[in-house]
Amino acid sequence: MESTEAKQKSFNEIINEDTPVLVDFYADWCAPCKMMTPILQQLKSAMGDKLTIIKIDTEKNPDVAIRYQVRGIPNLILFKKGQLLWQQAGVVQMPQLQQIIEQKLEQS
């Protein structure tokens, strides 16, 4: 997983790429957010290059969080070529998360 701070590309460049992108909005103080890290690592292992996963710290990037109406964290948003396909707040377990993502990508 890559943080947006580590990349030189802008958020818009990342979400507009051909590879679908799952964005995890989080904050360091958020306990449920910490639960998402191993789940997202499992998801990355399962989906490999079919999905890019990035984490956005809402404290450091409030403008992005506001743009996508992120009110609760953790908050997951799935993008494909810049289009928002799915958004959900709260912890989502790995099998359910993978199923939702694959289903949304098939429909798009």
Pick the catalytic residue: 15, 21, 23, 33?
33
Question: Who contacts 101 (Cβ-Cβ below 8 Å, separation ≥6)?
Answer: 20, 22, 43, 47, 51, 78, 86
Q: Please state, in angstroms and rounded to a whole number, the distance separating the CA atoms of residues 37 and 32.
A: 10
According to DSSP, the β-strands at 83-89 and 75-80 are antiparallel
Active site residue 33: yes
Pick the catalytic residue: 1, 27, 30, 46?
30
Structure tokens at 18: 């051909």
Is 30 a residue of the active site? yes
Cα–Cα dist 50/4, whole Å = 19
Q: Which residues are catalytic?
A: 30, 33
